[in-house]
Structure 1
Amino acid sequence: MQAAPVRATAIPSFTDALRAVESLLLSNGQRTARRNAWTSVLEDRRRAKDRIEAQRVLEQTFTIPS
């Protein structure tokens, strides 16, 4: 007697599930626009972090020790 074949299906991650729902609800143009907007947000956050670090370095450099 042979064992029954086993079917293995991968359970999608939460991100994969969200992308699937997004693709059903949004057209390609809207999806691209949202992705571009999010990329811009992340880039703005990175630049803000860099500005804060540069300001900190400048303040340390030009502070007169007492």
Structure 2
Amino acid sequence: MPAAPVRPSVTDALLVLEGLLLRGGQRTARRNAWTAVLEDRRRAKDRDEAEHVLEAVSTSTSQAT
């Protein structure tokens, strides 16, 4: 039974286009920049969650006293 043909995804197409248009160093720099953006977003989310936890603890502590 032959395998069904796999359609290339948009991501695959963009990666191929990126490879054709950008030299290796530019591609690496862009990927590093995007990785930094994702890491910044993750840290911002972590800070937001920590802030909510601290506010909840602060509120429960002040109500208990």
Q: What TM-score range do you get, normalising by the shorter chain?
A: 0.7 to 0.9
1:13 Cα deviation from its structure 2 partner: 1.3
Corresponding letter in the other structure for 2:51:
Q
Q: Which residue of 1 aligns with 2:36?
A: 40
Percent identity of paired positions between Structure 1 and Structure 2: 66
SS of 2:14 mapped into structure 1: helix
Kindly tell me the number of residue pairs found equivalent between the two proteins: 60
1:61 and 2:57 aligned: yes
TM-score by length of 1: 0.79
1:36 Cα deviation from its structure 2 partner: 0.4
Q: Could you list the runs of 5+ residues in structure 1 that have no partner in the other structure?
A: 1-7
TM-score by length of 2: 0.80
Provide runs of 4+ in structure 1 moved above 4 Å.
none
Map 1:1-66 → 2, pairs under 5 A: 10-63=6-59, 64-65=62-63
More helix by share: 2
Q: Distance in 2 between matches of 1:60 and 1:9?
A: 53
- Cα RMSD of the aligned pairs, angstroms, is 2.0
Q: Could you list the runs of 5+ residues in structure 2 that have no partner in the other structure?
A: none
